[in-house]
Structure 1
Amino acid sequence: MDSSDPIDAIVSQIDSLTVGTSNVGNTPPAHPAAAPNSKEQNPTQATQTNGSGAAEAGDAPKKKKKRRKGGKGKTLPSGFEENFVEAPLTAEEYNKDKELYSPQKTVAERIETAVQKYKSKRKLDPLRHQLLEAYYHLGGIKTGAKMFGGLDQKFMKENDTEEIARFKATDYVPESMKNIGVQRVEELDDDYEDPEYTVDFDYVVRAFVTHKIPFDFGIKKPDEIEKAVNTIKNFLNYILYHNVCPEYTDNIKQAVKTCDKANEELPLCAVLSGKFPGDFNRACSTLFGGYWSYMTPREWEKADGEQNFDKPEPGLSKENALEIYHALITELPHIASDLSRIPKEIYREYASLEVVSVWLPEPGNPLRLGKIVCKSWTPEETLPITSKWNEPNNLTLYCEKTVTQYAYPGMHFGCTLHELDSGLVYFDEISGVMCSNFLEIRDEKELEVDSDDFDFD
């Protein structure tokens, strides 16, 4: 007989929904609260059991799991954000750094460790990865599997995880540079005949940001220049922050300043490399037998004889060049401008120049030409260059003020100079526009290519 006690009713209800091992396979009774027409509605059970007694999901809706905030969808910082700052070191991290970068270790060991740690802390996109690899290579750090780099079980057992990771790392200082920064004594050093390397962060950074970035990588856009230069600056700041080479702190800080200077000058050099030599010099070159005289546009013709102007050639037409020359030569009263005769070239020289000063007409002045005063310049690490315009014989070049405004004292550029019997000197064939602290150094492979030219065996 059923009890009328409500508690007994609840217990009975729970029992009816609980499936034990003793009644596996039995269908649980209908819910006591089911409607009279439940057969027609075909109500769905919340759970059923399988053959092993485990509950199977029925058709009852499942509760959705709440997504945790800050989960997989959150983008982790790359370490190159504009306002990125290294997190303060904990006491444990500080002590670990002191161990990793102990002054008792050689500079080579510390730099090798720092490079490996840095790359593990940064999210590198393809361009940054390529830039850093080239920068490390220029500084003497090799990338790739080490020779005889296999690890046997004995090595794995005798060394800790950090030493194993260091040995397996793909960025390392080669054996030939293991004593870099160590003072050498000829009488005591058996390897004294090997080349001696010095530690100079600024020297390598100068060569990379002023030569490799604009010329080898061909980076010209301001935002790309900033990204490239700041990638190197980010690494230098990491070296400073973790006190990797305290004995070279001043040199590293100078390298950071070199990066800041490159961020200021490289965009100007990139603009000038596209604008030089300006229309006035192109016109002179076109009219008086210079480089641009071979670039005079011609009319292209289709097969049916119709003219096609969809493929214009570079350069100026003779008519356009003459118009520009006549309009601007009158701004130079000291230059003989007899329009009835064609000036003749009396001297030509390929020159490397350094800008000494720049002159621009005052705002509102109708003059269109500015002045760039230059002197002959010998690039660092090259043989001296002799020139007609060595100091104190400075040279004045003329260019539209819309072009001249990007030049600045200290900037360098290579070009061909043409002196006319009228007294005018114009320039064309620009080979490059370079920063004030430009430096080109070549690695061993590039030097080997040059040496092959003189191998007569």
Structure 2
Amino acid sequence: MTSSDAIDAVVDQLDSLTAGDPHPPPAASPSPAPNSNEQNPTTTTQTGEPGAATEVGDVPKKKKKKRKGGKGKTLPSGFEENFVEAPLTVEEYNKDKELYNPSKSVAERIETAIQKYKAKRKLDPLRHQLLEAYFHLGGIKTGAKMFGGVDQKFIKENDTEEIARFKATDYVPDSMKNIGIERIEELDDDYEDPEYTVDFDYVVRAFVTHKIPFEFGMKTPEQIEKAVNTIKNFLNYILYHNVCPEYTDNIKQAVKTCEKAKDELPVCSLLSDRLPGDFNKACSTLFGGYWSYMIPHEWDKEAGEPETKKPELGFTKEQALEIYRVLIQEQQDITYSPENLPKETYKEYASLEVISVWLPEPGSPLKLGKIVCKPWTPEEALPVTSKWSDSNNLTLYCEKTIVQYIYPGLHLGCTVHIMDNSQIYFDEISGLMCSNYLEIRDEKEFEFDSDDLLADFD
């Protein structure tokens, strides 16, 4: 008698072997019972485990393993930390020699390099925005091409790089086509003093020391590193492909400027959050300075209001007086009377450059350090007049926990106050700038439409 359990086992085994196959082999008939008189002479049954059987010659199809990790590995962007340009092949080297031949103008070579660079880099929105701003500062314009479309035939006949170059929208304007071309006044009837010159480092300085911290608002070390490395990556591409061999030294200096900014910008960001320090905040609170308008208010707790509130920025009069009385005693040349607080006699907005710093010896009970400064006029700006001069430097006091980060060459914008007991304090920090700070302003930034201005008041 045929066992129903054996038949079920055979069916289950066949189902498991053909699972997922859109065209499973036909199911085999169950094996006859041992006492059956009928046998199939062409079929041999092999039995492995109890209750499991398959027929020889009826080999089941193997399941296809699913691939892990999506459609494939992500291609590099060209901005990875350890990214290195691949060695140039002979064909690529010869192509570069043709594209960047010194007989071509600098404008033509730079325009080509920008197009090829963008085709070889995977730009996220931020890097794209940074590069566009950097190119614009250097005089490169961006605009839609009149015949910038590509058809399927063009796409099939050209590689990705050529397609990207054809669709590129960055170009050198006509006013700068002759940039870098030497002209001899005596031999050129139409000679005019060049309006523009080629200076990679000048543009990079302005971008990394001014645009990145003040216009893009980069503050964290991660943000600053990404922004600076984006510009450095482009400069290294220019060097690697020998785009402007006559300006190699200048481009290398621009790379060093990037490295310097990457070190100094995070320090400036940190100090902007900590200055002017508790001592100067206390003085400002007591003597009517900027921080006297930041005194915390006492608020009546309303029903349902949480117990904890975000602390306010300033000091109360009592807190300020306590800090002042303790720390003013470290300035031995200042006359101090607990009963009669000093009064302000002079105030000046100062643009300063740090000359040197002084810190107490390790283990000293002193809490204040010294910052020695001189007046500073930013490059490309009108001279700044000041009460102080190179022979009469200004010494500011601040907590040593802050002074330890200040370095010679740092630039500081702040308001300086002089009291009738000769004490000096500073507050209202307007900016902290790198040692090689440079700001370039486009004349168009100062242009405005009077109709637009009036519309703001409607």
Determine whether 1:358 maps to 2:368. no
Per the alignment, residue 98 of structure 1 pairs with 97
For residues 93 and 307 of structure 1, the distance between their equivalents in structure 2, rounded to whole angstroms, comes to 67
Moved more, 381-390 or 76-85: 76-85
Query: Is contact 1:220-1:267 (8 Å) kept?
Result: yes
The structural deviation recorded for 1:33 is 2.3
Alignment size in residue pairs: 411
Against the structure 1 CA distance between its residues 407 and 181, is the aligned structure 2 distance closer, same or farther, given a 3 Å change threshold?
same
For residues 403 and 311 of structure 1, the distance between their equivalents in structure 2, rounded to whole angstroms, comes to 24
For residues 81 and 435 of structure 1, the distance between their equivalents in structure 2, rounded to whole angstroms, comes to 26
For residues 243 and 452 of structure 1, the distance between their equivalents in structure 2, rounded to whole angstroms, comes to 49
Per the alignment, residue 321 of structure 1 pairs with 320
Using structure 1 for the length normalisation, give the TM-score: 0.80
For residues 215 and 308 of structure 1, the distance between their equivalents in structure 2, rounded to whole angstroms, comes to 37
Determine whether 1:201 maps to 2:200. yes
Give the secondary structure class of the aligned counterpart of 1:330.
helix
Determine whether 1:131 maps to 2:141. no
For residues 104 and 347 of structure 1, the distance between their equivalents in structure 2, rounded to whole angstroms, comes to 62
Against the structure 1 CA distance between its residues 421 and 104, is the aligned structure 2 distance closer, same or farther, given a 3 Å change threshold?
same
Using structure 2 for the length normalisation, give the TM-score: 0.80
The structural deviation recorded for 1:62 is 5.0
Determine whether 1:442 maps to 2:452. no
Per the alignment, residue 456 of structure 2 pairs with none
Give the secondary structure class of the aligned counterpart of 1:375.
strand
Per the alignment, residue 33 of structure 1 pairs with 43
The structural deviation recorded for 1:200 is 0.5
Per the alignment, residue 179 of structure 1 pairs with 178
The structural deviation recorded for 1:275 is 0.5
Give the secondary structure class of the aligned counterpart of 1:432.
strand
What is the 5 A alignment of 1:13-92? 32-33=42-43, 61=61, 63-64=63-64, 72-92=71-91
Question: Structure 2: which 5+ residue stretches go unaligned?
Answer: 1-25, 30-39, 46-51, 454-458
Query: Is contact 2:412-2:433 (8 Å) kept?
Result: yes
Query: Aligned partner of 2:43: which letter?
Result: A
Query: Is contact 1:415-1:429 (8 Å) kept?
Result: yes
Against the structure 1 CA distance between its residues 165 and 310, is the aligned structure 2 distance closer, same or farther, given a 3 Å change threshold?
closer
What is the 5 A alignment of 1:336-415? 336-415=335-414
Query: Is contact 2:140-2:171 (8 Å) kept?
Result: yes
What is the CA deviation profile of residues 255-303 of structure 1, one whole-angstrom value per residue up to 9, with x for unaligned ones?
A: 0111111111111111111100000000000000000001100012345
Query: Is contact 1:351-1:417 (8 Å) kept?
Result: yes
The structural deviation recorded for 1:374 is 0.3
**RMSD, aligned CA:** 3.7
Query: Is contact 1:375-1:394 (8 Å) kept?
Result: yes
For residues 252 and 306 of structure 1, the distance between their equivalents in structure 2, rounded to whole angstroms, comes to 59
For residues 84 and 163 of structure 1, the distance between their equivalents in structure 2, rounded to whole angstroms, comes to 23
For residues 453 and 330 of structure 1, the distance between their equivalents in structure 2, rounded to whole angstroms, comes to 55
Query: Is contact 1:292-1:315 (8 Å) kept?
Result: yes
The structural deviation recorded for 1:74 is 1.4
The structural deviation recorded for 1:73 is 2.3
Give the secondary structure class of the aligned counterpart of 1:300.
coil
Against the structure 1 CA distance between its residues 80 and 160, is the aligned structure 2 distance closer, same or farther, given a 3 Å change threshold?
closer
Against the structure 1 CA distance between its residues 166 and 121, is the aligned structure 2 distance closer, same or farther, given a 3 Å change threshold?
closer
What is the CA deviation profile of residues 128-158 of structure 1, one whole-angstrom value per residue up to 9, with x for unaligned ones?
A: 2221111111111122313x445799xx9xx
Give the secondary structure class of the aligned counterpart of 2:259.
helix
Question: Structure 1: which 5+ residue stretches go unaligned?
Answer: 1-26, 36-40, 48-58
Query: Is contact 1:222-1:267 (8 Å) kept?
Result: yes
What is the CA deviation profile of residues 62-92 of structure 1, one whole-angstrom value per residue up to 9, with x for unaligned ones?
A: 5426859x99421222212222211111111
The structural deviation recorded for 1:183 is 2.8
Per the alignment, residue 214 of structure 1 pairs with 213
For residues 65 and 306 of structure 1, the distance between their equivalents in structure 2, rounded to whole angstroms, comes to 59
Against the structure 1 CA distance between its residues 447 and 177, is the aligned structure 2 distance closer, same or farther, given a 3 Å change threshold?
farther
For residues 103 and 447 of structure 1, the distance between their equivalents in structure 2, rounded to whole angstroms, comes to 37
Moved more, 272-281 or 182-191: 182-191
Per the alignment, residue 113 of structure 2 pairs with 114
Query: Aligned partner of 1:443: which letter?
Result: D
What is the CA deviation profile of residues 189-219 of structure 1, one whole-angstrom value per residue up to 9, with x for unaligned ones?
A: 75948x7211100000000110111111111
Query: Is contact 2:119-2:165 (8 Å) kept?
Result: no
Determine whether 1:168 maps to 2:178. no
For residues 247 and 89 of structure 2, the distance between their equivalents in structure 1, rounded to whole angstroms, comes to 24
For residues 114 and 258 of structure 2, the distance between their equivalents in structure 1, rounded to whole angstroms, comes to 19
